[in-house]
């Protein structure tokens, strides 16, 4: 079949063109660059062409990415063509593992470019999905061992690993093992997963051997933190204390304002103050004793004889000193073999992370085995087994409280505190093991003591086994059965030293332990029949049944105090040991089927149906049905398009999905209450159950198109969707006077409208330089469109409100919006009515992936961000209160010099009249009269009230705002990859890719001090670190 063109005076070059699996590719066009000379490969992919030693060959084929290879005097050039990501003929994995050509899909799916994920690593695979997929939102916490959270079209998607739904935080999945990630966005896409897939799904497929023979890879990837992309700057001029004064005695207001607050004296040369690390002087003998912490209960607790010697009042850069360089090191190997009848893939990985917080680390590792064997011509057995371990001897604690180092250092520790001394002297002299040395004994821990002496362990073993047997009865018909078991065993404990401060817990040390065990058992059966009825009509019918069964069990025990310090054992308890256990099981059984009809290879119809029976719903309502239908049409096959348009596909889908409850939610049961002495008690829960609850219903409609121009130079895909959530299982709040806070009902209706757009553009396509841009944009708005029982309000929400409307506590304002101040005190008063000040979710999100090829170098640059929406900052509020906010320095000197308040807040004082409102806050009458405020207020008082006790938007006051615009854009990733084999030669190594990359490199944002990429600011996050690293990947 070869049809060589005539070429004069040149050498013959030949070779074979294959796909990645090693199969010969027939019909590939081979051209000599810059000429019209060319040929086409034969049935086995073999070609022969006459070319000069300095020519460049171009290989191109529909559905595959074009490639250019310089001849360089060679006579045999074998080429592997990779499938083109943008191709419509490309096959993707869809629900329950059914493979479909892209052009046949009547709903939106999007694949993630996994090669970049492998090269430029993140702390967790989930982070790497940020900005990659239209409609998929990833929130990225910054601390070690914090897992990202996902929202797909505003809902939490199902994670499917090798065809089986799993619950994972991604720490037990190595990015090296991943073959592909496909995101199924709408209800129609994932309807076949039933209740679990009602919010869309992220399908992750792990690798198997893809190439004849043996392939061995080894990869190492290492990255470190390199400074901070966002660092919370604080004021650096004033230390602990209040009203400009401070002196340490017992760290609990026994000295001068030594119990709390950073409104103390200014750091100035020559200032000396008694501090927590001041030596003690015996006033009688003049002896000076080195000391750290308070003196309570010691001989020195006698002010008539002893005093703390004032020492220099200086600033320390405690947060930067506290944080270490974070390290992430990951090592993977894999062995893949493909023979005649079987193939297998074996991989191992080990990864080590050490956190920025001292004494924190995370180890993960695993072994995965994946095999596929043709037992006979018709019978194929796939089996896989994987074991993964996630182990952290200690990881940081977040949240607003004394366990969090950020709470202590950032918000509540003045810069006067000498961090090095905290680190070197964690205990009060002579009280080692019993009392920490600290600058404060009311609210906070010595942050090094807390980091080193409190340890919380996480030890998780996940064992995952799968077997699939596929029987090809006839070429048109196959049946398969699958079974999967995934067991997760988790041991956690927390070892709290004596004198450790956690509000509400014992100060006498503490040991707590948890044992969790979860088993998921999934079995399913599928029969599939494909038939071409004639050349214009093709039919595929699938039918299946599945069963899902899960058990979860937990045991918990805790001590009450410790007798001997540092011995973390339940038998070392002072009081009685508290213990509890819990068991839960759940099952869903399902039957499903789907039918695909292909007409003229250009119109594709799909119908699917599934029925679930769930154990968690009442017997009368526990059976529910999911229908879906979709259509896809290649319009370009019917209508003559301009030449520039390669194709035009339109599609649409409709589906209805349902969901059930968590176990044991349809009967009321008593909960265990306090045990007084040895007398036990129970209490009745505040939520009313409903034994007639029905499944929820979500109906999605989606329509979209995809097209490409100028031989795929530009492709464009757009989708509109509407989701109607009805019959929601809601905990409807009721009057507390009914005895209950809420009751479970089916009700409320939410309508979500969303748009997603994806563009791929080959902006520059030169031999030595190319630039490809992938861009995705998404916007959705979810509104409450009907409220249960025709009520006017659901919580604060009214019909027509966005579901993410932000009803905030604000200050009372005059009719024209000025803050009303108290005539006596000059202070504002909170409005008892919550006020809508905007919405929390961004208005839209954007992700951009750039790929540059410069010679043999490949550069990937990803940017993503969000626009609009509000974020409330707890950090900023608390910084104002505590006195660490950069702006809190403003009037301090002036006021301390004057000896009286100097700051006159902007606002009005009511001189008469009153405001009357109904229960919805609507004004019935407003006869208030005002004058401008003239009362000066203590600056510290104002700072502790106005920007802290209620929400202040940027519009209300730029200076004191604690609610900000969420908009940001982030340079998420920059990586450069180069195959070192271009400059090296080796018989053994086929490929040696070196990638150098940076992650979380830079951000533009409107929120000061913090990174809005966290999602919210309720837990006081670590500073947002910049990572740089390299990956070396060898293929043998």
Partner 1 sequence: MKNILGILLLVVGLASCQNLEEMNINPNLPTETHPQLLLTNIEWDAFRAYRGTSPLYALKMLVQTDGENANQYYKWDRGSYGDYGVLRNITKMIEEGERINDPSYVALGKFFRAYYFYNLTLTFGDVPYSSALQGEIAENYSPAYDDQKTVFEGILTELKDANAILEASNNIIAGDVIYGGDMLSWRKLINAFRLKVLQTLSEKEGEINLSEFASIYQNQPLMENVEESGQLVFLDQQSNRYPTFNSSGFSSGMYMDSTFVQRLQEREDPRLFIYCTQTKSAKEAGKAIDDFSAYEGGDPAAPYAEVNEKATQGNVSKVNDRYHRDPVNEPYMLLGYSEQQLILAEAAVKGWISADPQALYESSVKASFKFYEMYSENYGSYVTEEAANTYLAKPINNFATAMSEEEQVQLIIMQKYLQSFFQLGWTSFYDHHRTGGYPSFRRPAGVDIPYRWIYPQSEYNYNAENVTAAITRQFGEGNDQIDEMTWWLE
Name which of residues 501 to 520 contact partner 1 (CB under 8 A): 501, 503-504, 506-507
CA 37 to each of CA 5, 28, 54, 66: distance values in angstroms, whole numbers, following the listed order: 6, 14, 15, 17
Q: How far is the CB of 281 from partner 1 (least distance, A)?
A: 16
- What is the chain's Cα-based Rg? 33
Residues 589-618 contacting partner 1, CB under 8 A: 589, 613-616
CB-based contact 831:811 (threshold 8 Å): yes
Q: How far is the CB of 676 from partner 1 (least distance, A)?
A: 5
Q: Which residues contact 869 (CB under 8 A, 6 or more apart)?
A: 804, 838, 839, 840, 841, 842, 843, 965, 966, 967
301 binds partner 1 (CB under 8 A): no
Determine if residue 127 is left, alpha or beta; phi over 0 gives left, psi from -120 to 50 gives alpha, anything else beta: alpha
Among 101, 796, 814, 1016, binds partner 1 (CB under 8 A): 796
Query: Which region, judged by CB under 8 A, interacts with partner 1, from 46-54, 255-263, 847-855, 1019-1027?
Result: 255-263
Residues 235-254 contacting partner 1, CB under 8 A: 242-243, 245, 252-254
Query: Which region, judged by CB under 8 A, interacts with partner 1, from 100-108, 334-342, 489-497, 731-739?
Result: 731-739
Among 829, 835, 843, 1016, binds partner 1 (CB under 8 A): 829
Buried b vs exposed e over 375-407: b needs ≥16 C-beta within 10 Å? eeeeebebebebbbbbebebbbbbebbbbbbbb
Q: How far is the CB of 688 from partner 1 (least distance, A)?
A: 6
Cα 621 from Cα 613, distance rounded (Å): 9
Tokens 């013959």 belong to residue: 12
Positive/negative CA dihedral, 796, 797, 801, 802: positive
Query: Which region, judged by CB under 8 A, interacts with partner 1, from 179-187, 438-446, 452-460, 864-872?
Result: 438-446
Residues 404-423 contacting partner 1, CB under 8 A: none
310 binds partner 1 (CB under 8 A): no
Question: Is the CB of 321 or the CB of 560 nearer to partner 1?
Answer: 560
483 binds partner 1 (CB under 8 A): yes
CA 290 to chain centre: 48
Among 944, 951, 995, 1021, binds partner 1 (CB under 8 A): 944
527 binds partner 1 (CB under 8 A): no
Query: Which region, judged by CB under 8 A, interacts with partner 1, from 220-228, 424-432, 562-570, 663-671?
Result: 663-671
Q: Is 927 exposed, middle or buried (0-12, 13-18, 19+ CB in 10 A)?
A: exposed
675 binds partner 1 (CB under 8 A): yes
Q: Reduce the DSSP state of residue 690 to 3 states and report it.
A: coil
Question: Is the CB of 147 or the CB of 517 nearer to partner 1?
Answer: 517
Cα 165 from Cα 657, distance rounded (Å): 17
147 binds partner 1 (CB under 8 A): no
Query: Which region, judged by CB under 8 A, interacts with partner 1, from 29-37, 573-581, 705-713, 975-983?
Result: 573-581
Residue 421 CB coordination number (10 Å): 18
53 binds partner 1 (CB under 8 A): no
1004 binds partner 1 (CB under 8 A): no
Question: Is the CB of 774 or the CB of 905 nearer to partner 1?
Answer: 905
Q: How far is the CB of 671 from partner 1 (least distance, A)?
A: 6
Residues 856-895 contacting partner 1, CB under 8 A: 881
Q: How far is the CB of 844 from partner 1 (least distance, A)?
A: 31
Cα 616 from Cα 620, distance rounded (Å): 11
442 binds partner 1 (CB under 8 A): yes
CA 349 to each of CA 49, 208, 365, 369, 395: distance values in angstroms, whole numbers, following the listed order: 44, 16, 5, 12, 21
733 binds partner 1 (CB under 8 A): yes
Q: Reduce the DSSP state of residue 1019 to 3 states and report it.
A: coil
524 binds partner 1 (CB under 8 A): yes
Residue 869 CB coordination number (10 Å): 20
682 binds partner 1 (CB under 8 A): yes
Structure tokens at 166: 């799993």
Question: Is the CB of 560 or the CB of 954 nearer to partner 1?
Answer: 560
Among 305, 315, 457, 743, binds partner 1 (CB under 8 A): 743
683 binds partner 1 (CB under 8 A): yes
Q: How far is the CB of 250 from partner 1 (least distance, A)?
A: 8
Query: Which region, judged by CB under 8 A, interacts with partner 1, from 110-118, 196-204, 581-589, 698-706?
Result: 581-589
Among 6, 76, 639, 669, binds partner 1 (CB under 8 A): 669
- The full DSSP string for 38-73 is EEE--TTSEEEEEE-TT-EEEEEETTEEEEEEE-TT
- The full DSSP string for 568-626 is --GGGBSSPPEEEEEEEEEEEEEEEEEEEEEETTTEEEEEEEEEEEETTS-TTT-EEEE
Query: Which region, judged by CB under 8 A, interacts with partner 1, from 32-40, 197-205, 487-495, 683-691?
Result: 683-691
275 binds partner 1 (CB under 8 A): no
Question: Is the CB of 587 or the CB of 994 nearer to partner 1?
Answer: 587
Cα 138 from Cα 1000, distance rounded (Å): 14
578 binds partner 1 (CB under 8 A): yes
**DSSP H or E segment with residue 406:** helix 405-406
- The full DSSP string for 737-776 is GGT-SEEEEEE-EEEEEEEEEEEEEEEEE-SSEEEEEEEE
**DSSP H or E segment with residue 226:** strand 213-230
Query: Which region, judged by CB under 8 A, interacts with partner 1, from 15-23, 42-50, 598-606, 920-928?
Result: 920-928
DSSP state of 127: G
Question: Is the CB of 788 or the CB of 1036 nearer to partner 1?
Answer: 788
Total residues interacting with partner 1, rule: CB under 8 A: 120
Per-residue interface string for the shown chain with partner 1, residues 334-373, x marking contact by CB under 8 A: ----------------------------------------
811 binds partner 1 (CB under 8 A): no
Q: How far is the CB of 376 from partner 1 (least distance, A)?
A: 7
739 binds partner 1 (CB under 8 A): yes
Question: Is the CB of 9 or the CB of 789 nearer to partner 1?
Answer: 789
Q: How far is the CB of 536 from partner 1 (least distance, A)?
A: 35
Among 311, 379, 570, 994, binds partner 1 (CB under 8 A): 379
Question: Is the CB of 559 or the CB of 776 nearer to partner 1?
Answer: 559
Question: Is the CB of 290 or the CB of 585 nearer to partner 1?
Answer: 585
Q: Measured at the alpha carbon of residue 21, what is the angle toward residues 20 and 24, in degrees to the nearest 5?
A: 85
Q: Which residues contact 366 (CB under 8 A, 6 or more apart)?
A: 172, 174, 348, 349, 386, 387, 388, 389
Q: Reduce the DSSP state of residue 128 to 3 states and report it.
A: helix
């Amino acid at each position: 079949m070869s049809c060589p063109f005539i070429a004069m005076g040149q050498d013959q070059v030949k070779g074979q063109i294959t796909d990645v699996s090693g199969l010969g590719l027939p019909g590939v066009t081979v051209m000599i660059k810059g000429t019209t000379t060319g040929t086409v490969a034969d049935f086995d992919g073999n070609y022969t062409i006459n070319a000069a030693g300095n020519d460049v060959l171009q290989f191109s084929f529909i559905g595959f990415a074009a490639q250019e290879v310089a001849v360089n005097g060679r006579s045999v050039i074998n080429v592997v063509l990779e499938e083109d990501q943008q191709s419509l003929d490309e096959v993707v994995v869809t629900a329950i593992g059914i493979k479909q050509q892209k052009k046949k899909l009547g709903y939106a799916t999007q694949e993630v470019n996994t090669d970049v994920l492998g090269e430029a690593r993140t702390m967790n695979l989930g982070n790497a999905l940020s900005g990659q997929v239209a409609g998929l939102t990833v929130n990225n916490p910054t601390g070690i061992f914090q897992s990202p959270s996902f929202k797909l079209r505003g809902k939490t998607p199902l994670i499917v690993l090798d065809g089986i739904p799993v619950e994972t935080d991604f720490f037990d999945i190595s990015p090296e093992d991943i073959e592909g990630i496909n995101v199924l966005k709408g209800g129609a896409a994932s309807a076949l997963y039933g209740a679990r897939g009602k919010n869309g799904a992220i399908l992750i497929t792990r690798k198997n051997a893809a190439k004849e023979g043996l392939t061995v890879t080894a990869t190492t990837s290492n990255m470190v933190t390199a400074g901070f992309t966002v660092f919370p700057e604080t004021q650096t001029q004033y230390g602990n204390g209040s009203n400009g004064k401070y002196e340490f005695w017992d760290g609990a207001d026994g000295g001068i304002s030594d119990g709390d607050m950073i409104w103390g004296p200014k750091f100035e040369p020559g200032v000396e103050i008694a501090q927590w690390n001041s030596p003690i002087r015996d006033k009688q003998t003049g002896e000076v004793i080195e000391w750290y912490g308070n003196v309570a209960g010691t001989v020195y607790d006698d002010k008539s004889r002893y005093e703390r010697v004032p020492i220099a009042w200086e600033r320390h850069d405690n947060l930067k000193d506290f944080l270490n360089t974070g390290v992430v090191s990951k090592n993977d190997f894999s062995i893949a073999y493909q023979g005649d009848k079987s193939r297998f893939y074996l991989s191992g990985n080990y990864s080590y992370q050490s956190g920025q917080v001292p004494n924190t680390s995370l180890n993960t590792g695993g072994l995965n085995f994946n095999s596929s064997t043709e037992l006979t011509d018709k019978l194929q057995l796939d089996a896989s087994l994987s074991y993964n371990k996630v182990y952290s001897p200690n990881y940081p604690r977040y949240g607003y409280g004394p366990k969090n180092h950020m709470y202590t250092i950032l918000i509540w520790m003045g810069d006067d505190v000498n961090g090095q001394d905290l680190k070197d002297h964690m205990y009060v002299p002579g009280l080692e093991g019993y009392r920490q040395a600290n600058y404060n004994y009311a609210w906070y821990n010595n942050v090094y003591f807390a980091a080193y002496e409190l340890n919380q362990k996480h030890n998780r073993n996940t064992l995952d086994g799968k077997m699939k047997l596929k029987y090809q009865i006839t070429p048109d018909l196959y049946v398969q059965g699958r079974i999967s078991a995934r067991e997760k065993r988790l041991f956690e404990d927390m070892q709290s030293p004596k004198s450790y401060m956690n509000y509400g817990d014992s100060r006498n040390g503490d040991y707590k332990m948890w044992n969790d065990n979860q088993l998921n058992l999934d079995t399913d059966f599928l029969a599939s029949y494909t038939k071409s009825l004639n050349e214009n009509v093709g039919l595929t019918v699938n039918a299946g049944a599945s069963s899902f069964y899960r058990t979860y069990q937990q045991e918990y025990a805790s001590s009450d105090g410790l007798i001997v310090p540092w011995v973390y054992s339940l038998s070392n308890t002072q009081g009685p040991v508290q213990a509890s256990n819990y068991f839960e099981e759940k099952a869903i059984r399902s039957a499903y089927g789907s039918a695909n009809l292909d007409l003229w290879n250009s119109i594709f119809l799909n119908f699917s149906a599934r029925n679930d029976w769930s154990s968690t719903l009442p017997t009368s309502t526990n059976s529910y049905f999911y229908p879906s239908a979709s259509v896809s049409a290649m319009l370009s096959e019917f209508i003559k398009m301009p030449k520039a348009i390669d194709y035009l596909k339109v599609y649409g889908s409709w589906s209805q999905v349902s969901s059930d409850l968590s176990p044991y939610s349809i009967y009321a049961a008593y909960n265990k209450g306090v045990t007084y002495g040895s007398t036990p008690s129970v209490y009745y829960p505040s939520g009313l159950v409903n034994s007639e609850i029905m499944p929820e219903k979500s109906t999605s409609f989606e329509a979209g198109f995809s097209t490409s121009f100028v031989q795929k130079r530009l492709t464009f895909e757009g989708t509109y969707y509407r989701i109607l959530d009805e019959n929601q299982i809601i905990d409807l709040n009721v009057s507390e006077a009914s005895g209950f806070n809420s009751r479970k009902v089916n009700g409320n209706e939410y309508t979500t409208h969303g748009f997603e757009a994806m563009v791929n553009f080959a902006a520059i396509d030169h031999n030595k330089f190319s630039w490809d841009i992938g861009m995705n944009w998404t916007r959705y708005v979810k509104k409450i469109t009907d409220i249960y029982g025709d009520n006017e309000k659901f919580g604060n929400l009214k019909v027509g409100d966005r579901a993410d409307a932000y009803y905030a506590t604000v200050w009372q304002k005059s009719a024209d919006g000025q803050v009303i101040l108290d005539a006596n005190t000059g202070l504002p008063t909170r409005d008892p009515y919550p006020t809508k000040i905007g919405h929390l979710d961004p208005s839209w999100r954007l992700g951009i992936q750039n790929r540059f090829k410069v010679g043999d170098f490949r550069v990937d640059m990803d940017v993503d961000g969000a626009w609009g929406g509000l974020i409330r900052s707890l950090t900023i509020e608390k910084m104002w209160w505590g006195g660490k906010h950069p702006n809190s320095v403003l009037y301090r000197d002036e006021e301390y010099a004057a000896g009286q308040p100097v700051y006159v807040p902007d606002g009005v004082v009511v001189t008469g009249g009153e405001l009357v409102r109904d229960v919805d806050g609507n004004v019935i009458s407003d006869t208030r009269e005002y004058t401008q405020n003239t009362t000066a207020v203590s600056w510290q008082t104002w700072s502790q009230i106005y920007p802290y006790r209620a929400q202040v938007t940027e519009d209300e006051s730029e200076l004191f705002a604690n609610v900000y615009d969420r908009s940001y854009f982030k340079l998420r990733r920059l990586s450069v990859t180069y195959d070192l084999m271009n400059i090296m030669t080796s018989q053994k190594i086929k490929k040696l890719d070196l990638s150098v990359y940076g992650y979380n490199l830079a951000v533009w944002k409107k929120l000061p001090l913090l990174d809005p990429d966290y999602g919210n600011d309720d837990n006081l996050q670590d500073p947002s670190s910049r990572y740089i690293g390299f990956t070396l990947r060898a293929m043998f």
